[in-house]
Amino acid sequence: MGTRSIITFKSEEGILQVYKHWDGYPDTTVPELQKFLKWNGHRNDDLSYTMANYCYWHKMTNFNDQIEVYRDGKTDKEVNDFVESGNSCQHTGLGVLPNKVMNFRQASKEYNAEYFYVVDLEHKTID
């Protein structure tokens, strides 16, 4: 079972949220979000692009990490076959939430989330 969390991206435009199924611990998720915000750079001022880019970045990062782990002791052909098989990183581990989750209590009750994060794009904070 994963350590579930809800990540809220917030700006003057509103809020968008993502459910993260795995590894929602603060010592993993906060540095991950910091790296993402740095990578996303000037697009952090647009809520919808930030959310879309986070989902892309998360999948890309996990895919690249998975390939590096798989690569150990394998030939280039074996790695290529693995990538092309579609068995690598089939799941993003993320889901865009259709309804607003307003606090940790609601996140815990409705999604079994153990952590609730708010990324404030205007103030550049992660709570």
pLDDT in tens, 26-79: 999 999 999 999 999 999 999 999 999 999 999 888 877 777 777 788 888 887
Higher pLDDT, 54 or 91: 54
Residue 15 has pLDDT above 80, yes or no: yes
Higher pLDDT, 15 or 76: 15
Strand partners, 94: 20
61 to each of 15, 23, 103, 122, how far by Cα in Å? Answer: 24, 14, 28, 25
Residue 116 has pLDDT above 70, yes or no: yes
How far, in whole angstroms, is CA 68 from its chain's centroid? 19
* Predicted local confidence at residue 73, as pLDDT: 85
How far, in whole angstroms, is CA 43 from its chain's centroid? 16
Nearest residue to 5 via CA among 22, 14, 16, 103: 22
What backbone phi and psi angles, to 5 degrees, belong to 24? -85, 5
Question: What residues does each domain of the chain span?
Answer: 5-126
